[in-house]
Amino acid sequence: MKFEDKVARLRKEKYGGKETPELLEDIRKMTEGESLEYLLGGVEFAGAKIDLSFRPMIPRPETERWVKDAIEDIKATRREYVLRCLDLFSGSGCVGLAVLKNLPESTMDFIELDPKLKEQIEISIAKNNIKKLRTRVLTGDTWQGAQGTYDCIFAVPPYVPQSMKEEVMKELSSEDPLSFFDKEDGFYYHTEVLKQAKEFLKDGGALYLEFDITQREKIEEMVKECGWAIYSFLKDPYGHECAIKLVK
């Protein structure tokens, strides 16, 4: 989005079309690298309102596209019972919240490493008028806090390799790097998920896992090595395969 378009959106959505000193201050912040989404305080993601007060990773349109496709897939294949779901590496909670919003018979466990984002997710749960009884919001690393088995697991792990940290940090500006960087070569968390997901999936359950478009070939190799036989790829808005659905 062009800078002029960002200013126009900010003026319309936050200030009701008025020129104010506060608007000028926000424009100054944007020139210094502040994100429009943080200034607006939230975004819409697949029909859900995502609060950004605690500055989690800003939801991406690439993720939104495959999540919408996953929701439609679930609607088409699972009709007769309540879905028990898990959102790993929750961040803002955008993926889990979108599922809850679009599938009213679903429940969701959120697991996020950053303690402050527990409250962030809970704010968005309230903003979307989702009953708390449908949710569990937990602080933990990867599988910490997961209980029993799930019909669907969603995972958007950090997958930027450490070797690219300096380069990517120049572009991040206002976002927390914790959400982006893998511990090792970009596949540490993917490996953790692929190796253990079957323990937490019901028979016939599905895992939806995001990756960078440059990782597609390696991801398929890892999927086969971990013994997954049934899988298919999902695409971003530009036609790139950026996520994979795996069925137990």
**Which residue from 169, 151, 152 is spatially nearest to 160, judged by alpha carbons?**
169
Residue 148: how many CB atoms within 10 A of its CB? Answer: 9
Q: How many CB atoms lie within 10 A of CB 161?
A: 18
Q: How far is CA 184 from the centre of its chain?
A: 21
129-156 pLDDT, tens digit per residue, is 999 999 999 999 999 999 999 999 999 9
User: Measured between alpha carbons, how far is 106 from 73 in angstroms, rounded to an integer?
Assistant: 14
Topology annotation, domain 42-247? Rossmann fold (3.40.50)
Phi-psi map region of 17: left, alpha, beta (phi>0 left; psi -120 to 50 alpha): left
pTM equals: 0.91
Chain segment 172-215, per-residue pLDDT in tens: 667 676 677 767 788 899 999 999 999 999 999 999 999 999 99
Question: pLDDT of 52-100, one tens digit each?
Answer: 999 999 999 999 999 999 999 999 887 657 899 999 999 999 999 999 9
Cα–Cα dist 43/100, whole Å: 16
Domain residues of the chain, as ranges?
1-40, 42-247
